[in-house]
Amino acid sequence: MAVTKEILTLAVEMGDALLRNGAEVYRAEDTVLHILEAYEIKDFDVYVLSNGIFASADENTEDACSMTRHVPLGKTHLGRIAALNQLSREICSHECSLIDAWTRLEECKNIPVSKISVRIFFCGLGSGSFGYLLGGTLPDAVLSFFIGMLLQVFLIATDHRLDSKFLTNILGSALVTTLSLFALWIGIPIMQDKVIIGAIMPLVPGIALTTSIRDLFNGDYLSGAIHMIDAILTAFCIAIGVGAIITLYRFLPGGISLL
Amino acid sequence: MIIQFLVCFAANISFAVLFSAPKRQLIFCGLTGSVGWLVYLLCKDCGLGLAGCNLVATLTLTLISRIIAALQKHPVTVYLVAGIFPLVPGAGIYYMSYYFIMNETDQCAKWGMDTLKIAGSIVLGIIFGFALPQKLFNKLHSVKLPSVKNVFRGR
């Protein structure tokens, strides 16, 4: 009987896809459990971490099987999470057969990310808005807008080339700081701190922080700790990137009078 | 205040797009975040401290996210993630490292403590927000929202 195996593969595959796109641990775990239940598997055990899934089903019967997955921390894609959530809801209410579920799962996994131009524009818009919200003036916001766009260009360009997230964050925040200090240096009247704060917003670990809190709250201490360390290290990297460039700037002629 | 609301709306939608939120939910993502920010500003006007403002704002944000999530039958994360960004202490991180570099230890310590406080109150806000049982929100599943659905059908 290969049925158990197929069901378990589907369930774990869905959990995998959820985690990969940045869902919380409890959501992935719940999804796997509910799918197994929906397809009437009685005896199962599932353990989900923020970067791994362990599951077994029907251990005491002939078609016993178990599965392990390693899921690297990836980019957040809320659209896929929402679609997968919808799919799991349909499976649980028995509106979706096993074969349909596979095709649907593939569809969910392949929901595209937005176009590059769209992402660049919205990254700029976000940066600019935050530059304004956090106390900047209109020129600050406009400058933040353009620097934010350049940051996203940088992030997209280095997406496949830089393996290390730390390096991406350090270089990204260094780039932002360099650009805003350069604008200050050539005499554009801006508050460079607001510009920088606005433009580093896309790098700030808001998601990791939120997810980690929710994991901790649900009792997944290990996963919460993993995300928390991720958030703290990211913040640390941003600080290094900004700090290094400010230090360098002080050695420039006319660069001492900051803030 | 209205300008702040609109700018925050734009900011939240931008981040929702960056994290590829479903297109139909973008409006709600923007809404939750800007309401959270508005609450933050109001609390600040009332003279609440840094931690208090963030706590109340995050709590409101979490509750609104959960209500909308139940109404729209979407995961809470979709709304929460974009909405939390205005409250996350990005400025704190910047000033802390800035004063650290400038060797102004007391300012650095002050901003460091503020950053920790903000992060802590966001944590508490989210925890309180999720402390309410999901059953309460599940009741909203059956609530029909004809007006809202009609508005978005054309999109």
User: Can you tell me whether residue A181 is helix, strand or coil?
Assistant: helix
CA distance B74 to B62: 14
Q: Which residues of chain B neighbour A122 with C-beta distances below 8 Å? A: 13-15, 17-18
Nearest to A172 by CA among A141, A147, A190: A147
> In this structure, what are the phi and psi dihedrals at residue B42, rounded to the nearest 5 degrees?
-60, -45
Residue B82 lies in a domain: yes
Count Cβ atoms within 10 A of the Cβ of residue A175 and give its class: 0-12 exposed, 13-18 middle, 19 or more buried: buried
Q: What are the structure tokens assigned to A192, written together?
A: 């460079």
- Nearest-Å Rg of the Cα atoms of chain A is 23
Nearest to A236 by CA among A181, A173, A184, A187: A173
Q: What are the structure tokens assigned to A216, written together?
A: 């901790």
Rounded to two decimals, what is the model's pTM? 0.82
Residue B11 lies in a domain: yes
CA distance A217 to B127: 7
Q: What is the pLDDT of residues A186-211, one digit of tens each?
A: 877 778 888 888 888 888 887 888 88
Residue A257 pLDDT grade (very low, low, confident, very high; cuts 50, 70, 90): low
ipTM above 0.85, yes or no: no
Domain residue ranges of chain A, discontinuous segments joined by +: 2-109, 116-251
pLDDT at A254 over 70: no
**Which domain covers residue B73, as residue numbers?**
2-88+126-143
Q: What is the pLDDT of residues A102-144, one digit of tens each?
A: 888 888 888 888 888 888 999 999 898 888 888 888 888 889 9
Q: Which residues of chain B neighbour A25 with C-beta distances below 8 Å? A: none
Residue B150 lies in a domain: no
Q: What are the structure tokens assigned to A10, written together?
A: 């589907």
Write out the H or E segment, with its range, that includes residue A44.
strand A44-49
CA distance B27 to A19: 25
Q: What is the pLDDT of residues B58-73, one digit of tens each?
A: 999 999 999 888 888 8
- In angstroms, the separation between the Cα of residue A228 and the nearest Cα of chain B is 11
Cβ-defined contact of B126 to A210 (cutoff 8 Å): yes
Residue from A20, A50, A127, A130 whose CB has the most chain B CBs within 10 Å, to mutate: A130
Residue B19 lies in a domain: yes
